[in-house]
């Protein structure tokens, strides 16, 4: 294959741009913010579940408190009605005596219910505090995730902007090198990771193997526009002032 020496030399520039693109892609993939965001997202899911759990517990104990308060109020209302009837004195002595006994029973019942109400109120306060703590933890994690995501997106935008600039330069360079030489370069690059390498100090810049004298003699005798390949790694060898050939 023949190609103008200047086109061959430009392959090294193309190789440099491809290396930079690979570096930028690696940087975009390996930003620590990706892992941070993933961890925070997982933690946020756990905290959301905790919020649901504590809210459910809060609602359950609130229903208990509402019932306890209603039970106490029923006893208080019944006792108030009985006291009113006793004060009025309506009914027989036996009826009034029965009301007095019931008032005593209601008083004991009210005491038990009020103790229960206090116990439920204490649990309600604990449930309220737990729900509030869970919501605060969830909100803090959400804020952290938003900050990490914003930082990640800003860094990715920088990388993508540089990548677009490098890719544009590469597109222009491909036109200078030519479709035939670029096609060969791309085939080799797909297999070896890099498609071209400088020949420096009698070594291939790709595999770093020193060329034997016979190969070096053949390279020296080759025409300037002949496309040379490394016998060890198959990369396109680009002759330089330091080739040693």
Are residue 58 and residue 106 in the same domain, yes or no?
Answer: yes
- What does the pLDDT average to over 143-150? 98
Of 158, 176, 194, the position where a domain reaches its end is 176
Are residue 202 and residue 158 in the same domain, yes or no?
Answer: no
Q: What is the rounded CA–CA span in Å between residue 59 and residue 80?
A: 31
Answer whether residue 202 is part of any domain.
yes
User: Is residue 148 pLDDT above 80, yes or no?
Assistant: yes
The C-alpha angle with vertex 128 and arms to 126 and 130, in degrees rounded to 5, equals 70
Q: How many residues does the chain have?
A: 245
Answer whether residue 244 is part of any domain.
no
Per-residue pLDDT at 245: 52
pLDDT band at 84 (very low <50, low <70, confident <90, very high): confident
Per-residue pLDDT at 59: 97
The residue behind tokens 């330089």 is 240
Q: Indicate the SS3 state at residue 229.
A: strand
Are residue 11 and residue 86 in the same domain, yes or no?
Answer: no
Count: domains in the chain: 2
Per-residue pLDDT at 244: 58
- What does the pLDDT average to over 233-242? 87
Percent over 90 (pLDDT), the chain: 72
Q: What is the rounded CA–CA span in Å between residue 58 and residue 66?
A: 12
Q: Which of 39-43, 175-179, 234-238 is the most confident on average?
A: 39-43
Are residue 199 and residue 136 in the same domain, yes or no?
Answer: no
Are residue 103 and residue 90 in the same domain, yes or no?
Answer: yes
pLDDT band at 52 (very low <50, low <70, confident <90, very high): very high
Residue pair 103/86 in contact by the 8 Å Cβ criterion: yes
Answer whether residue 245 is part of any domain.
no
Are residue 65 and residue 142 in the same domain, yes or no?
Answer: yes
Of 127, 157, 176, the position where a domain reaches its end is 176
Are residue 162 and residue 125 in the same domain, yes or no?
Answer: yes
User: Is residue 1 pLDDT above 80, yes or no?
Assistant: no
| Residue spans of alpha helices (H) in 89-230 | 93-177, 179-192, 213-221
Are residue 69 and residue 155 in the same domain, yes or no?
Answer: yes
Residue pair 195/227 in contact by the 8 Å Cβ criterion: no
Are residue 67 and residue 12 in the same domain, yes or no?
Answer: no
Residue pair 151/37 in contact by the 8 Å Cβ criterion: no
Mean pLDDT value across the chain: 92
Nearest residue to 62 via CA among 130, 135, 134 = 130
- What does the pLDDT average to over 82-107? 85
Are residue 19 and residue 43 in the same domain, yes or no?
Answer: no
Are residue 194 and residue 223 in the same domain, yes or no?
Answer: yes
Per-residue pLDDT at 217: 87
Per-residue pLDDT at 224: 84
pLDDT in tens, 177-218: 989 999 999 999 998 889 999 998 889 999 999 988 888 888
Domain of residue 166: give its range: 31-176
Residue pair 225/4 in contact by the 8 Å Cβ criterion: yes
- What does the pLDDT average to over 13-34? 96
Per-residue pLDDT at 87: 81
User: Is residue 3 pLDDT above 70, yes or no?
Assistant: no
Burial class (CB in 10 A: 0-12, 13-18, 19+), 155: middle
Of 176, 196, 227, the position where a domain reaches its end is 176
Are residue 107 and residue 38 in the same domain, yes or no?
Answer: yes
């Amino acid at each position: 294959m023949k190609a103008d020496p200047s086109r061959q030399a430009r392959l090294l520039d193309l190789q440099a741009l491809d290396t930079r693109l690979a570096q930028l892609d690696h940087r975009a993939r390996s930003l620590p913010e990706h892992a941070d965001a993933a961890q925070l997202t997982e933690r946020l899911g756990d905290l959301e579940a905790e919020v649901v759990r504590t809210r459910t517990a809060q609602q359950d104990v609130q229903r208990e408190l509402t019932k306890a308060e209603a039970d106490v109020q029923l006893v208080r209302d019944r006792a108030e009605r009985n006291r009113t009837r006793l004060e009025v004195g309506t009914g027989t002595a036996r009826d009034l005596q029965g009301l007095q006994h019931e008032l005593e029973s209601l008083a004991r019942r009210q005491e038990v219910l009020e103790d229960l109400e206090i116990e439920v109120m204490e649990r309600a306060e604990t449930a309220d505090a737990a729900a509030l703590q869970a919501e605060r933890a969830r909100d803090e994690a959400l804020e952290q995730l938003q900050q990490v995501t914003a930082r990640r997106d800003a860094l990715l935008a920088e990388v993508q902007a540089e990548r677009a600039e490098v890719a544009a330069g590469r597109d222009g360079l491909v036109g200078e090198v030519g479709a035939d030489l670029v096609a060969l370069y791309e085939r080799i690059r797909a297999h070896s990771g890099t498609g071209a390498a400088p020949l420096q100090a009698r070594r291939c810049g790709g595999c770093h193997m020193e060329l034997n004298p016979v190969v070096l003699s053949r390279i020296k005798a080759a025409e300037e526009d002949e496309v040379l390949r490394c016998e060890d790694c198959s990369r396109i060898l680009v002759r330089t002032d330091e080739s040693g050939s």
